[in-house]
Each structure stands twice: as structure tokens, then as C-alpha cells.
Amino acid sequence: MVASSQPLATAAGLEILRRGGNAADAAVATAAALNVTEPTSTGIGGDMFALFYDAKNRQVSALNGSGRAPAGLTRERILREGFSSALPPYHPHTVTVPGACAGWCDLLERYGTLSLTEVLAPAISLAEGGFPVAPTTAHFWQAGANRQLKTAPNGHELTIDGRGPNPGEIFRNPGLARTLRVVAEGGKKAFYEGEIADAIADVLQKAGGAMTADDLAWHVSTWEDPASVTFGDYHIHECPPNGQGLTALLAFNLLEGFDLASMEPLSTERLHLQIEALRLAFADARWYISDPQFSNIPLAELLSKEYASARRKLIDPKRAVLDQKRGTPVASSDTVYFCVVDEVGNACSFINSNYMGFGTGIVPKGWGFTLQNRGHNFSLDPDHPNRLEPNKRPYHTIIPGLITRADGSLFGPFGVMGGFMQPQGHLQVGLGLLVDGLDPQSVLDLPRFCIDVDSGEQGGAVLLEEGIPWRTAAELAALGHPVRPVSGWGRATFGRGQIILRDSASGTLTGGSDPRADGLAMTFL
């Protein structure tokens, strides 16, 4: 089964499974096809993270495919150029080395069974022959065309005469097809060295950026042990920092101490506890999440049950506490999410992103993909662990999730994309699966809340999706939460998720795909 936000990308993954590929092969095929069909969210000019469940040994591995800041991008240079508090969102200085291509190749190298040429073939066909643009994608593509693509160098390559495509309109991307063919033939080296790397460095330097061809040539992915917590009879796995999966794990730990099963999923009592747990989790995460090569992150202590017990006491069931501060454990020393499960039970939870839609909107001339703006998440505070430094990975919002049972068997990969909504989505759909026993589609259909951590309001405004009862909204407001109702296209705030669950006895797969996007979950016999 493959579940993604685009039908044609789901079909690409299924095509690879039909050819005998496994979950890793199908995941990379789906990622590449999403680059073609949903460049508004993702692409080879961005980053990726993945969790892979190996059915043979029941082990979960984490792949960090995020890039680093250029070696020449120092805080002194930033200050000299007039930036003291934050970088503009689409500035070339926000471009970190795109890690997606290396991540795709490294996942195949360790777990794949097919060649890169075979795996990228469906995406190349879509890019060359063209595809009908899906409705939700068209809406956000048009917004991006009028925003960063309008002024970014070579941004017109991702438009039709300067505009975004209409729903159902055919879009062809010969530049991206060329990129994927070069990678298919030459592997990751063909992306990080040679004419693609030169084009990336050239367009960024001409726009005032610091990235060089050497920055690209030095890039490597990293394989890591996942971060995880127990929740009842389950193990919840996330990629460790610099990803923000820590936020979701902190919240799960906090909520394990409450009798959530006795509360209705959309009740005031339940939502209040979830919001308060996430406020505490974000207070820690926004400080501690950074590149572990540059900071000592007390991960084991942050995820301990003892720490959760102490922090849980800060949750008041009767009122919202809007001024939560980070704890001090003592240390001993715009995105696509999709998932794949193959016939033997291997699973891949995969996320790939440009950030902020098309990222910077900057396109290396003739290559048909935009460059991400992940560096916008660096802090310019010299005392912050996530401060901007050369060759450093920033705080990353994109996170894949995966759940196993106590015996190590696969429960399923899951995820919700969407900036700082992602750990909030992980918590909400995770509780729906593990506490309420809902099936994947039912849990994805439920309305959600989102704490707008950058709203400027103390504690963050609580955005409530259309469908949450008005009475619940009023009661949350009475508890002190600054609530804001959201409907229409604004519902994109609540992310878009995919889930596949596997029955351990029969091997039967049950999947779901978020109604807030264009995609679906699909299988074949």
C-alpha cells in the first residue's frame, strides 16, 4: 500500500511495488513523483527525513537527509548585511544545502532492491509527458506564482506564462525531467558535483547568497537511532533532533498520565489537556532542538518518564497556562508526507519538503526545481542553541512517525505535514489511533486544532478547525485559550496526513489519506 497527497504519486509507488520493488524503492519513486506533481510543497531542492522498519529484524532506522548552512554564512556576514533579528523568508541566505537527493540515494543504497534508474522512471515520465494538476495543488501553486516565483531568479520555470496552472491543466517540466535523468544515470554525485551543483551555486551567488560548489560536494546524509517513547503497549518512533519529532514525543509522555479514554475526542476536557501538553512540549523543543553536532541535547532526560511526571504537574485542568517556560533536565554528559508498506511488512515513513511552499522560489537555471528556505528557522540570537553557524543544520519542522507494538511488530507509519503543525498532528492522529481505536481514514477526517506558535499572542493562538463544536470552542475560550475558528482554504493550517496500519496476524493493511489534500491510499492484490 502507498498513501500520499497526490494520486499520480501514489500510482508511481504502486508501479514500483508491482515491479517487485520494496518499501524503500516505492518510497523514493513516490517522493520523486511528488516533486513533479506537487512542487508547491516538495522537491529535490529541499530536504527529507525517513523512518524505515525492517521486517526481518523488526528494527527501525532513522535517515536524516537535511542539509547544512554554507561554510561562508557567518553571523558576522549576516549582521554586516543588515539582518539582526531574522532573515527574510525568501532570501538566498535561507537556502541550506538540499539534502533530498542524497537521502533518496542513501535509502536505496541501504534498503532498496531496484536501480535508481528504475525507481525514478515514473517521475521522469510524468515530468516529460505532463500531468493534470490536482485542484488543491493548483490553488497553492497559483498563490506561489504570485508570491515567491514572481520575483525569484528563474521562478518562471515553474509557471505557465507567469501564472500557476488551473485545476486539470496539463503541466510539463522538462527541466526537472533533465535533473532526474542526470541523477538516475550518475547517482547523488551527479547532483552534488558537476553542472547541477554549479547551477545551484551560480544562481545563489548572483542573488547575493553564500553557497559554493564545495558546500554541495561536502554534503552527507546521516543514519541515526530513532528517538522513541512508550505509550501504553506501543512504541512511538520519531527522528531525533535536528527534527522536531521530540515535540510530539514530549507531549505523548505528558498525556500518558491522564485517563484520555474516558474523554470524548473533541471534548473540551480532552482538547484542553492536549493543548496544554503541546504548550509545554514546544517550550522545551523551541529551545533544545538544534544540530546535535553543535549542541549537547539532553535527549534521554527530556524523554524520561520522570521528567514527564515533573512537567505534568504544570498542567492545570481548570485553566490555560499561557506562559510555560522550558524545563531544565540534568544531562549526564510546506511539505509532503507519505508512507509505504510492502507485502512482507517493511515500512517507510517519509517526509520531503521545500518549506514555505516553493521554498525561496529560486530555480537553478534550466533544471526545473526550486531551492528550499530551511535556513529561515535558524535563530540569530548568539546565545541560542539553534543559532546560525557555518556547516550547521537548522531546527527542522518536517517529521515522519512510526509506531510499533510492544513485541516489536509493525503497527504502522503515520505523519501529518505542515510546519509547526506537524508534531501537533502527530499527537492528535496518534491519540485517535491508540486511545480511541479509530481507523486511519476516520482519524484523518476528524477536525483538528493548531497552536499558532508564531502568532505573537502569549502561549500562541489556538486555531480550531471547522467541525469542532461551537460549545467546545466557547468552553476552551472560557478556560483562557485565545481561540480562533478556521474554515475554507485556511484549513491547510491543520496539515495533511497519511497513515497505513498493518494487522500483525493477517498482514492486512488499512490506509487513509487526508481530505485536506488531493491524494489517496491505494493497494493492489
Set of cell numbers at residue 421: 503543525
Inter-helix orientation angle 245-255/305-312, to 10°: 70
CB 513 within 8 A of CB 444: yes
CB 85 within 8 A of CB 380: yes
CA distance 137 to 2: 19
- Residue 37 annotated among the catalytic residues of the structure: no
Report the relative pairing of strands 410-417 and 131-132 from DSSP bridges: unpaired
Question: What type of residue sits at position 184?
Answer: A
| Residue of 42, 94, 137, 335 marked catalytic | 335
- Residue showing cell 494538476: 133
CA distance 241 to 330: 18
Query: Which residues does residue 450 pair with via DSSP β-bridges, in sequence order?
Result: 463
> Closest Cα partner for 324 from 384, 278, 273, 280?
280
For the residues of 328-363, what is the DSSP string, one character each?
Answer: -PPP---EEEEEEE-TTS-EEEEEEE-STTTTT---
Output helix, strand, coil percentages for the chain, rounded to the nearest 5.
40, 20, 40
Residue 84: count other Cβ atoms within 10 Å of its Cβ: 8
Long-range contacts of 514-517 (CB under 8 A, 24+ apart): 514/5, 514/416, 514/444, 515/444, 515/445, 516/136, 516/491, 516/492, 517/5, 517/6, 517/136
Set of cell numbers at residue 433: 489511533
For the residues of 81-127, what is the DSSP string, one character each?
Answer: TT-SS---TT-GGG-PPP-HHHHHHHHHHHH--S-HHHHHHHHHHHH
CA 251 to chain centre: 18
Q: Which helix (H) or strand (E) holds 255?
A: helix 245-255
- Residue 470 class from Cβ within 10 Å (0-12 exposed, 13-18 middle, 19+ buried)? exposed
State the catalytic residues.
335
